[in-house]
Structure 1
Amino acid sequence: MRVLVTGASGLLGREVAGLLVRQGHAVTTFQRRPSGVDGAADFCGSVTDDEAVRAAVQGAEGIIHLAAKVSFTGRAAEFDEVNVEGTHRLLRCARGAGVRDFVFVSSPSVANSGAAIAGLGAQPADPQRAHGDYSRTKAEAELLALAEDTPEFRVVAVRPHIVWGPGDTQLVERVLERARRRRLPLLDAGAALIDTTYVDNAASAIVAALHRMEHIHGRALVVSNGEPRPVGELLAGICAAGGAPAPSWSVPGGVARAAGAVVERLWTWAGRKEEPPMTKFLAEQLSTAHWFDQRETRELLDWVPAVSLDDGLARLAEYYGSRNPHLRDV
């Protein structure tokens, strides 16, 4: 199959594109800078550019759309331009080019209003209740995508939950950097039960969705490892793998959420590009249970995760050990 992968310069997009290449597909990647995926043809551009998008989709039979503005802060208009209008533009051009299958890579946050989630499946995306501009615009984009589903243009939304692995700058590097500076607190003693997704598993689930489109199109599916752990245990595992001290002090979750809301507004007002130390959304994620029932997802995708959480942490330790040989003896 001729497959276009958007956002392949990121951790998950790169793994998705690489897996497709290894499976023998003809892969083109589309993002603002070269993806570096061996065996894939790079097409550099932005989903905000009509001409670039029209050119990128030509000849594709399937599209996996991962490109997005992912941040805890930023101007609302920037999220709208990339996440909503960019998805709308890609959908329109894909249909015009005769693309058959479209996998929209979404997020469980599209259906999360901040309340605890314990053992649910994929609830409906709700932009009005989603917290933060990232979640709001991903919810709007998911609804746009699924509304385009027909037997001739098949669309599915896959929501991988908290993806991490070697080379991850979104979660792992931030955790380690803050832990080394002793600025990584546990919220409510790190007791909240959460699930995550090792990057290889997230990628294989997304590719499985492309192959299973006949059975799943028109639906949204949440993907995770299916191994919920307390936040404190997960953070300690990441810190151990990266040779950083585990967090040892706690802050009440309510205090962190209130402080995060203030910091988030100040960061956006000041136009700062770096991520703030805390936001309301991040505080919610660290102090509220969120894990999902994976039985339906695994049945519909005919898929199971190949890498367990403990195996993923071992791979993370191997990665940091290869970069810092002294960690092998720690």
Structure 2
Amino acid sequence: MKILVTGASGFIGGRFARFALEQGLQVRVSARRAEAVEPLLARGAELVAGDLSDAALVQRLCRGVDAVVHCAGAVGVWGRYAAFHQANVTVTENVVEACLGQQVRRLVHLSSPSIYFDGRDHVGITEEQVPKRFSDYYGATKYLAEQKVFGAAEFGLEVLALRPRFVTGAGDTSIFPRLTNMQRKGRLSIIGNGLNKVDFTSVQNLNDALFSALLAGAPALGKAYNISNGAPVPLWDVVNYVLRQLDLPPVTRHLPYGLAYGAATLNETLCKLLPGRPEPTLFRLGVAVMAKNFSLDISRARHYLDYDPQVSLWTALDEFCQWWRTQQY
């Protein structure tokens, strides 16, 4: 099987491209710059360089491949809607049109459980529990991109979407690097009582889920799938585990939720008024994410994708910490 992996210069796309090569697949990757994917090229991946906003380029990317794993997109909670729409919706439209134009058989789309988040506690949330309104531009555009993907099924494209929660492991530059940096600066506090449980996903487990999505039979098609390790854990226990592994003091200071939320509201308001709208150091959405229970029901993935998470969170955290230490030194 020959596949295209978009977003291969990023954490999830890059890890899956490497995994697919190890499984014996032929892998084509997209990136703006060749140096961003040099390790993959050294392992035998084929590069077509360019910007996925270029529809003609995406047509060339999809020529001659059997399936596409679409991992590219914008992540974050700050910025203008137009930028998120361009990166998450317009680019996905280009990928869908190219799959149809080049007769690609299957498209596996990497989505996000951020579409569910509304600032409240959620335990065992299912794929159908999508809110009527979205909390941020990221969640809104990721859901809209999903709809573009599922709409292509009527034209014969086999489609699936995966929504993995808090993916970590070697290469993670999002979750724990930010938190450890805040702790080094003395700005990290436990928000609320610190007992909230959340889901994480080992990147190795996500690789297995993406690979299963490439091979799954007809009953699995046309569906979105929650992906996690399936075992919610206290968030602040996980944060302190990583801090200890990196020889940093654990976070013990508590900040009441209302106070943190109010400070985030003020911070965001000020940043909107400043020239250039700089990114705030504290977000309302981030405060809620760090204080609320949030876990996924993964029974659909277990049933249709035979998904069975094998790599524990603690193994993934050890992998991240070992990798992060090498990056620092």
Of residues 208, 214, 230, the one that matches 1:210 is 214
| C-alpha distance in structure 1 between counterparts of 2:305 and 2:27, whole Å | 21
SS in 2 for 1:43: strand
Alpha-carbon distance between aligned partners in 2 of 1:125 and 1:29, rounded to the nearest angstrom: 32
Cross-structure match for 2:69? 64
Counterpart Cα distance in 1 of 2:28 and 2:129: 31
Change (3 A) 1:82 1:297: same
Supply the distance in 2 between the matched residues of 1:75 and 1:16 (Cα, whole angstroms): 29
Q: What is the match of residue 174 of structure 1?
A: 178
Structure 2 distance, partners of 1:156, 1:133, is 22
Which residue of the partner structure matches residue 198 of structure 1? 202
Amino acid at match of 2:205: N
The Cα shift of 1:134 comes to 0.8
Residues 124 and 33 of structure 1, relative CA distance in 2, 3 Å threshold = farther
2:104 aligns with 99
Q: Which moved more, 1:113-122 or 1:21-30?
A: 113-122
TM-score (ref. length: structure 2): 0.91
Cα deviation, residue 69, structure 1: 0.9
Q: Aligned partners of 1:202, 1:19: CA distance in 2, in Å?
A: 11
> Contact 2:235/2:290 (CA < 8 Å) preserved in 1?
yes
Once the two structures are superposed, residues 119-153 of structure 1 have per-residue CA deviations (whole angstroms, 9 ceiling, x without a partner) of 12212545x51211111110111112112224831
For residue 15 of structure 2, what is the aligned residue in structure 1? 15
Q: Are 1:48 and 2:48 an aligned pair?
A: no
The corresponding residue for 2:287 is 283
Superposition deviation, residue 73 in structure 1: 0.8
Q: Are 1:125 and 1:142, in contact at CA under 8 Å, matched by a contact in 2? A: no
For 1:133, the aligned partner's letter is: Y
Distance 1:4 1:297 in 2: 23
Stretch moving more, 191-200 or 311-320: 311-320
- When normalised by structure 1's length, the TM-score is 0.91
- The answer to whether 1:117 aligns with 2:126 is no
User: Given that residues 112 and 129 in structure 1 are in contact (C-alpha distance below 8 angstroms), is that contact kept between their aligned partners in structure 2?
Assistant: no
> Does residue 1:77 correspond to 2:82, yes or no?
yes
* Contiguous gaps of at least 5 residues in structure 1: 326-330
Counterpart Cα distance in 1 of 2:68 and 2:151? 16
CA distance in 2, matches of 1:217, 1:264: 41
Is the 8 Å Cα contact of residues 3 and 25 (structure 2) preserved in structure 1? yes
**Equivalent runs, 1:174-253 vs 2, <5 Å:** 174-253=178-257
Cα contact 2:168–2:317 (8 A) shared by 1: no
Task: Give the SS at the match of 1:190.
Answer: coil
RMSD between aligned alpha carbons? 2.0
Change (3 A) 1:52 1:277: same
Contact residue 111 and residue 139 of structure 1 kept, 8 A: no
In the TM superposition, residue 17 of structure 1 has moved relative to its aligned partner by 0.5
Task: Give me the identity figure in percent.
Answer: 29
Q: Quick check: 1:241–1:316 contact (8 Å CA) kept in 2?
A: no
Amino acid at match of 1:5: V
Superposition deviation, residue 256 in structure 1: 2.3
Q: 1:57-106: CA deviations, max 9, x gaps?
A: 11111011110011221111111111111111211121111011001100
Answering whether residue 258 of structure 2 is matched by residue 258 of structure 1, we say no
Amino acid at match of 1:241: Q
AA in 2 matched with 1:27: V
Residue 296 of structure 1 corresponds to which residue in structure 2? 300
- On the 8 A contact 1:101/1:213 being kept in 2, the answer is no
Alpha carbons of 1:318 and 1:82: their partners in 2 closer, same or farther (altered >3 Å)?
closer
Query: Greater CA deviation, 106-115 or 92-101?
Result: 106-115
